[in-house]
């Protein structure tokens, strides 16, 4: 299983010289697991992933969406492979208050927000609605979903391929006790991607916004016996210098810990 990060930023893209190392694109991870291609979230990072994929010929992939806040779907209209009739995508996500997955994604591409409708993306698209606490297979890849604490709801994904486990826990807010759902999701994971948007000093001012801290990520990683912790969903105002300091503080407590950056590749 090979994981590649195409966007690790949260909330809104933040390009510029002060964020060049960790990157300014929002959430997107590419996972190659045997014959399967999985894409976790469709933030702005999916645009550059798409530019790479169009060089590979015919594409078949599963796009797993955690939720529909802009930073997790805003790259989809710019995903070049989505406009080729030769390509096939299975898009997974929740129904929200009776609004279908397809309708939600079509909404961001309707006037006056965008000039091209979802129907004009000529690839073959299947829209598969899921919910938290569900298990399904993508070929030989086993996927489990768990609820995360985030406004408008969000799911975390546990992805298992040949005994190697990746947990993707973006956009979640902690409480005094470790979230039992995330504990199940992360149990014995080889890699845990965890929402570390805020520092401990920033967090009290952001209560209810649905994000967490590096220190809480370490608590979860220890309790779940995670092998490697990846700090995720960097706050848009955090420069490379700030993210690097957060990474260094976290590594003192949990040595096998890194802050995600664009181009990061993890091989399991």
What is the pLDDT at residue 83? 98
C-beta neighbour count of 157 within 10 angstroms? 26
For residue range 100-146, what is the model confidence (pLDDT) as tens digits? 999 999 999 999 999 999 999 999 999 999 999 999 999 999 999 99
Q: Could you tell me what percent of the chain has a pLDDT over 90?
A: 97
Domains of the chain by start residue, with CATH: 2-267 (3.60.15.10)
Average pLDDT over residues 54-83: 97
What is the DSSP-derived secondary structure letter of residue 262? T
Q: How far is CA 182 from CA 46, 72, 107, 169, in A?
A: 25, 20, 30, 7
Q: β-strand 60-64 against 134-138: which pairing, if any?
A: unpaired
pLDDT for residue 209 is more than 90: no
Average pLDDT over residues 77-98: 97
What is the pLDDT at residue 52? 98
Q: Which residues pair with 203 in a beta bridge?
A: none
| Cβ 182 vs Cβ 148: under 8 Å | yes
What is the pLDDT at residue 108? 95
Token pair in block for residue 173: 């807010």
């Amino acid at each position: 299983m090979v994981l590649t990060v195409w966007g690790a930023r949260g909330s809104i893209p933040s390009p510029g010289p002060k964020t060049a190392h960790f990157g300014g694109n929002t959430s997107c991870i590419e996972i190659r697991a045997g014959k399967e291609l999985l894409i976790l979230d469709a933030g702005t990072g999916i645009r550059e992933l798409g530019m790479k994929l169009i060089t590979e010929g015919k594409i078949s992939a599963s796009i797993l969406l955690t939720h529909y806040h802009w930073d997790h779907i805003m790259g989809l209209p710019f995903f070049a492979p989505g406009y080729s009739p030769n390509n096939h995508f299975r898009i997974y996500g929740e129904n929200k208050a009776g609004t279908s997955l397809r309708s939600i994604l079509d909404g961001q591409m309707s006037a006056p927000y965008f000039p091209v409708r979802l129907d004009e993306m000529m690839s073959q698209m299947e829209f598969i609605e899921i919910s938290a606490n569900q298990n399904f297979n993508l070929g030989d890849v086993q996927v489990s979903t768990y609820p995360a604490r985030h406004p408008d709801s969000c799911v975390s994904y546990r992805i298992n391929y040949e005994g190697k486990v990746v947990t993707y826990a973006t956009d979640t807010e902690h409480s005094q006790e470790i979230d039992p759902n995330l504990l199940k999701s992360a149990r014995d994971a080889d890699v845990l991607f965890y929402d570390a948007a805020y520092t401990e000093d920033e967090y009290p001012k952001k209560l209810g916004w649905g994000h967490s801290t590096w220190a809480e990520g370490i608590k979860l990683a220890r309790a779940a016996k995670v092998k490697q912790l990846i700090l995720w969903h960097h706050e848009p105002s955090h420069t490379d210098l700030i993210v690097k300091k957060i990474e260094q503080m976290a590594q003192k407590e949990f040595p096998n810990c890194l802050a995600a950056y664009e181009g990061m590749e993890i091989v399991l």
